[in-house]
Amino acid sequence: MVKRRIAEILRSGQPDESLLIQGWVRTKRELKGFAFIEVNDGSSLASLQVVMNQDLPDYEAIIKKLNTGASVEVAGVLVPSQGKGQRIELKAEMVKVYGEADPETYPLQKKRHSYEFLRTIGHLRSRTNSFGAVFRVRNACATAIHQFFQERGFLWVHTPIITANDCEGAGELFNVTGLNLKDIPRADNNAVDYAQDFFGKPTYLTVSGQLEAEVMAMAFSNVYTFGPTFRAENSNTSRHLAEFWMVEPEMAFCDLDGDMDLAEAFLKHVFKYVLETCPEDMEFFNQRIDDTVLSTADNIINNEFQRLTYTEAISLLEKADVKFEYPVSWGLDLQSEHERYLAEQLFKKPVIVSDYPAKIKAFYMRLSDDEKTVRAMDILAPKIGEIIGGSQREERLDVLEKRILAQGMKPEDLWWYLDLRRYGTVPHAGFGLGFERLVQFMTGMGNIRDVIPFPRTPQSADF
């Protein structure tokens, strides 16, 4: 008998087809002489209704085992459904129970659970409607991202997870060591003797693949990374994880305007793809999580993003008739409340802020002729704040060296990065997108811990 996925059966299954499904019981309803079992295999939000007639062999014994969470295989024939809510259902001819789930202890009974509670059962929460929808949409976002870049001839490059560079100079690094922490080798001045460590020097988990992506862009023109990044930031917010996925395109022969154009086309593509491939899940988010999810997606796809400079943004914030917690003044970084005011209240759509003060931005961003600002841009999304951060990179060797020194870093540590400016340098630009922030934005999920299967946050690395 042919095994079929439930999503496909619900979409195109026809009466009289004989087939087999495998999945987990969501609910059981026993009536006189027969029972309805909802079976879900993760392929769609909707479950397939299975009808079991009491004349099936071992009916009583099997029915007892079919509690919420049990794993089953059902063979049977599709019949038009008499009931409301589904076009078709499966009339069981054989039901095999793989594993039972004791209703006294299985924590996912048919009622709504809070996301806080579900985080404590991270190994089971993917079996709920909400997390099923989130992780299908997450998968669709990832597919859309690869599709977008591959269609445009970008090479997917794999940058290292263990690195000796602190790219952002942010100091939010996790150390990687092979040293025995109970017996740390010391140098003369009592400092840790990293010469004896695995790599012979201090190493960290990467905070960004950008510098290495620049290396690859100088050979392949257009590249992107899509991989995990790590930040030991002790910020317990609904938008920060210690381990998150980042997408970082890098383009040679490209300036900041080209970068902004790409970022906007990119977000539009991903939203469009997800709406087309996951309509049922997106409808679910709109009904159950945030009733602006579909209108936001529509807004992204059909409107041009608002572009303005940091200087313009500051003057708009100074005129705003709301009280901000943090001060607004030229030279200070925008806080999330400012970002959200611009995107959510003022423009009501994604906003691209560009040309930030050089002092608050990373050393590799291209200095403008005013010598006060750099060609950086952030895309700010309603409800999320910063979703993309990008820049045109400094391609002039002398300027870059000065900027590295000004930020208290050593040019010799970045000799290979500077070589890219020594040999065949070109204007180039790129951006970083926090993948989980994108999934949050897409689904309306309020907490970033609920859009990654296994969140890592301060004091929490379970499952």
Q: Which one, 240 or 375, has the nearer CB to ligand ATP?
A: 240
C-alpha to C-alpha distance for 196 and 185, rounded to whole angstroms: 7
- Please report whether residue 343 would count as binding ligand ATP according to CB under 6 A: no
- Between 246 and 267, name the residue whose CB sits nearer to ligand ATP: 246
CA distance 356 to 374: 6
- Which residue, 73 or 168, is less far from ligand ATP as judged by CB? 168
- Residue 9 C-alpha from the chain's centroid: 29
Output the DSSP codes for 395-426.
Answer: --HHHHHHHHHHTT--GGGGHHHHHHHHSS--
Strands 351-357 and 71-80: unpaired
Q: How far is the CB of 148 from ligand ATP (least distance, A)?
A: 17
Size of the site for ligand ATP (CB under 6 A): 16
| Nearer CB in complex with ligand ATP: 386/450 | 386
Q: Rounded to the nearest whole angstrom, what is the least distance from the CB of residue 347 to ligand ATP in the complex?
A: 18
Residues 215, 216, 241, 260: which binds ligand ATP (CB under 6 A)? Answer: 241
> Where do we find the tokens 């045109």?
392
387 touches ligand ATP by CB under 6 A: yes
Cβ at position 312, least distance to ligand ATP in Å: 20
389 binds ligand ATP (CB under 6 A): yes
H/E stretch holding 298: helix 293-302
- Site residues for ligand ATP, 246-285, by CB under 6 A, read 246
Q: What's the CA gap between 112 and 125, in Å, rounded?
A: 12
Min dist CB 240 to ligand ATP, Å, is 4
Site for ligand ATP, residues 405 to 434, rule: CB under 6 A: 432-434
Burial class (CB in 10 A: 0-12, 13-18, 19+), 30: middle
Site string for ligand ATP, 26-65 (x = CB under 6 A): ----------------------------------------
Query: Closest-CB residue for ligand ATP?
Result: 434
Distance of CA 2 to CAs 18, 22, 48, 74, Å? Answer: 8, 11, 16, 11
Beta bridge partners, 72, equal 23, 97
Q: How far apart are CA 418 and CA 393, in angstroms?
A: 12
Question: In the complex, what is the shortest distance from the CB of residue 191 to ligand ATP, in angstroms, rounded to a whole number?
Answer: 29
Of 284 and 363, CB closest to ligand ATP:
363
Would you say the C-alpha torsion 399, 404, 410, 411 has a positive or negative sign? negative
CA separation for the pair 122, 452 (Å, rounded): 10
Number of helices followed by number of strands (H, E) in the chain: 13, 16
- The position carrying tokens 């100088």 is 218
- Contact window for ligand ATP (CB under 6 A) among 7-15, 55-63, 241-249, 411-419: 241-249
Q: Which of 361, 366, 421, 437 binds ligand ATP (CB under 6 A)?
A: 437
244 binds ligand ATP per the rule CB under 6 A: yes
Q: Does 393 bind ligand ATP (CB under 6 A)?
A: no
Of 26 and 340, CB closest to ligand ATP: 340
> In the stretch 126-165, what mask flags binding to ligand ATP with x, by CB under 6 A?
----------------------------------------
* SS3 category, 283: helix
Name the residues that contact ligand ATP, by CB under 6 A: 168, 231, 233, 240-241, 244, 246, 386-389, 432-434, 436-437
